[in-house]
Homo-oligomer: A and B are copies of this chain.
Amino acid sequence: MKQVRGLSRRSVRRRTGRVLVEGPQGVREAVRFVPERIRDLYVTREAAQRYADFVGPARDRGVFVHEASEEVLAAMCDADTPQGTAAVVDWTPTTLAAVLAREPRLLVLLTHVRDPGNLGTVIRGADAAGADAVLVSEGSVDVTGPKTVRSTAGSIFHLPVVTGLDVAATLTALDDAGVRRLAADGVGERTIDEVDLTTAHAWVMGNEAWGLEPDTRQACDDVVRVPIHGHAESLNLAMATTICLYTSARSQRVP
């Protein structure tokens, strides 16, 4: 139990290469998408009935399923209410090269994202929009942290997430791979509705508070803004990113 609880610390996650997934939505998606990476699945007796849809399949796939009391589960977890289940999952990082080798059409690069909830929500939004991967720069919040993993609602197991990237090198690699780099920034002259989004591209997003670094913005192929029609100063990062990605998805998918 102590070992599991330790996964709320980044140093322990790094050393062990494991992450803790809390709650039924995340555990279910781990069972569906990466059962071979699940080390241990914990579930209360009561919840085992409620979550038969994935506890049964998990056992069938050879996952170690342990019965745990509510108290033990709560002590393991970061969430106030893990809702009766949690799992320890191997974190297998992927690389930018692997992502680019699959000729992606739609990507997002988050630079210096600091809020775990924002990062998780962006991963969920990118998944929903059908993006090929989420790229996260160095100096960002840890994608394997409990709050980020929870906020993805299982999407962290649905699409590749590359972390620790150098921004300048990533922009160069994207260019070399024929992926247009679109800086999302309020200073953009054109809006997301006024640029061609049909070809392969990556949305490049800035930090929640200070936005994009000028060097990053200038290295991109275009600077594009989400239009603000009312009096709001801006949208939050997760909303702006999801709107950009959905606008792209529409452009790329409409026949």
Q: Which residue of B lies closest to A28 (CB)?
A: B233
Whether a CB of chain B sits under 8 angstroms from the CB of A101 is: no
Q: How far is the CB of A120 from chain B (nearest CB, A)?
A: 10
A127 at the interface (CB under 8 A from B): yes
Give this chain's copy count: 2
Stretch of A42-50, A140-148, A153-161, A211-219 at the chain-chain interface: A153-161
Closest to A246 in B: B243
A249 at the interface (CB under 8 A from B): yes
Instruction: Give the interface residue-count category, chain A.
Output: 35 or more
Question: A43-86, CB under 8 A of B: which get 1 and which 0?
Answer: 00000000000000000000000000000000000000000000
The answer to whether residues A236 and B193 also contact, given A229-B128, A243-B242 and a CB cut-off of 8 A, is no
Known interface pairs A193-B254, A229-B253, A230-B131. Does A239 touch B236 (Cβ–Cβ under 8 Å)?
no
With a CB–CB cut-off of 8 A, which chain B residues contact A153? 232-234, 236
